[in-house]
Amino acid sequence: MAKLTVNESAQSGLTHAFKFSFEDLQAIGNGGQKTLFTKEAGQFVELCVVKEQVAFAGTTSLVIDVGTTGADPDEYIDALDVDAMTIAVANTGDAFTTGYTQAVDAAAADEDVVLEVTDAAIASATAGELLIGFRVVDTNVAA
């Protein structure tokens, strides 16, 4: 799943959503990155939320980052300890100054939004699923 339909977006409040099973995260690997989508010039991210849909088993050290900076993609979610999550977590990244919903990170050029996985034990995972959702504000449609 990537960009949501109008009906899905109206129901969830998100514009983009991505599911990752433990096998997907194993394929990304420890220290690896996966491009989620390309944020076009003139778009803002208003919300980035992570929910552990299925509890992870076989690892207790899964940490993720979500953002646009290749070397350290943490603008939207920063060093989130997935194992410690008890509820969905949103907007913990460097671009969000208050932790609340706010339109952030507009760019003059297109940029990739990436997920980074850090977990030396990810190969040992036997269960788990993450949902990563976004609400992107697109100022280009108002032109």
Chain segment 44-55, per-residue pLDDT in tens: 999 999 999 999
Q: What is the pTM of this model?
A: 0.90
Residue 52 lies in a domain: yes
Residue 130 maps to which CATH number? 2.60.120
Task: Provide the number of structural domains found in the chain.
Answer: 1
The band of 99, judged by pLDDT with boundaries at 50, 70 and 90, is low
Residue 128 lies in a domain: yes
Residue 1 lies in a domain: no
pLDDT tens across 23-40, in order?
Answer: 999 999 999 999 999 999
Question: Which residue range(s) make up the domain with 33?
Answer: 6-142
Residue 88 lies in a domain: yes
Sheet holding 43-57, edge to edge: 16-21, 127-138, 43-57, 89-90
